[in-house]
Amino acid sequence: MRIVEQPWGARAVFMSMKPSLNWLLIFAPIAFALRFWPGQAHPTALFVCSAIAIIPVAGWIGRATEELAARVGEGLGGLLNATFGNAAELIIAAIALSKGLTNVVKASITGSIVGNILLVLGLSILLGGLRHKEQVFNKTGARTSVISLSLAAIALVIPTVFHFAASGSPGGWSPVMERQLSLGISVVLFITYFCLLAFTLRTHKHFFGGAEAEPKERAERWTKSKAVVVLLIATGVVALLSEFLVGTIESVRASIGVTEVFVGVIVVAIVGNAAEHSTAVVMALKNKMDLSVGIAIGSSLQIALFVAPLLVFLSYCFGRPMDLEFSLPEVFAVVASVYIIFQISGDGETNWIEGVQLLSVYLILGILFFYLPEPFARH
C-alpha cells in the first residue's frame, strides 16, 4: 500500500509560526523555575514572568469554554461563556483576597471596567479604523448593554457616596455599616446579572442579532471531554501562576515604588483580561465591530454585575469582609469611562480618531494612578 504524504504538513508548520499568544507560554516554565528552584529568589522576575504566562493560559480557558459551550446548547453555552469570561481575573482576585490584599482587589475591579472600555475598545477602534475607514455595529444591542453598565456603575459608586455622607452626619460612619451596605448592593447586582443573561440569551435575543459569528477557521472541533480536561488544567495552572503573582506584589511594590492601587488598576486588570482583549482587537481588524464592541462592553458588565459581587461574597468566606468603597479617582475613572462609551455607542459607527481619544483618556488616568500617593488611595 502506497503512503502519500499529507499536503497540509508544510502549511501546519507555517501556521504554527504565525504570531500567537501561545508563544508566551515559554514564561510558564520560567516562572515555575524561579519559584521552586533552590536559591533563586527574584520576586520582580517572578512577578513579570507569572503575569506574562497567565495571558496565554487564560486564552486556553476561553478556548475550552467556547468549545464546551458549543456542545451543550445555546442557553447553557451562553451562560458558560458569560460566567467564565473573566475566570483568570477572578482567580487572581480570589487569591489576593485570601492574602489580605483587599485594596489590590478593589482596584482591579475598577481597572477592569475602565480598561475594557478605554484600552480594549480604544485599541480595537484605532486599529480597525486604520484598516477600514468607517466601521458599524448594532447600536441597539450596544446601547442596551451600556445602559445596564451605567446602572451597575451607579451601584458601585453608592458605597463611596455613603462614606462621605455618613462621615458628616451626627451618627458618624462605621466600617460594619458600610460592609452591610456593600453586601446588600452585591446581592442586587448578582440578581441583576442573571436577569440580564435571561434578557440577552432568551427573551430579547433579537436585540443582539447583528453580531457576526466568528468564522470557523479551525480544522476540527474539540470533544467535550477534551474541552473539560483543558479547562481544568488551564484553570489549575492559572491558579498557581496567580499565587506566584500575588505573592510577589509586596516585594515588587517596594522595589519599583508603585502603589497597590496602580498594581490593581493597571497591571492586574490588564493581565486578567489580556486574552479577551486580543480577541476584541482581532475582530475589529476583521471589520466585525459587533463582536469587538460586545466583548469590551460585555466584559465590563461581567466585572460589575458578576465578579465584583462574587468577590464580596468570597471575602466573607476568607474571613476578610470586603466593601465596595472606592477612592475618588477610581469613582471618577469609572463614571467618565461609562459616560464616554454611552456617547460613542449612540450612532453605531466608529472611526480611528475615536480610538485615539479613548486611549488618550486611558493613558491620562494611568498617569494619575501612577502618581497617586498610597495614603490617599483609600479613605
Segments forming the whole domain that contains residue 323: 23-376
Whether 130 maps to a domain, the answer reads yes
Whether 17 maps to a domain, the answer reads no
CA distance 337 to 346: 15
Extract the residue ranges of the chain whose pLDDT is less than 50. Answer: 1-16, 210-219, 376-379
CA distance 292 to 210: 12
Note the pTM of the prediction, 2 decimals.
0.82
Give the CB-side neighbour count of residue 267, counting CA atoms within 13 A. 25
Whether 14 maps to a domain, the answer reads no
Whether 7 maps to a domain, the answer reads no
Tell me what pLDDT residue 204 has. 66
CA quadruple 274, 278, 284, 287: dihedral sign: negative
Whether 167 maps to a domain, the answer reads yes
The secondary structure of 250-316 as a DSSP string is HHHHHHH---HHHIIIIIIHHHHHHHHHHHHHHHHHTT-HHHHHHHHHHHHHHIIIIIHHHHHHHHH
CATH code for the domain of 178: 1.20.1420.30
- 120: cell is 480594549
Whether 5 maps to a domain, the answer reads no
CA-angle at 279, arms to 278 and 285, nearest 5°:
90
**Total domain count, the chain:** 1
Whether 13 maps to a domain, the answer reads no
Phi, psi of 350 (to 5 degrees): -140, 155
Whether 59 maps to a domain, the answer reads yes
Tell me what pLDDT residue 1 has. 44
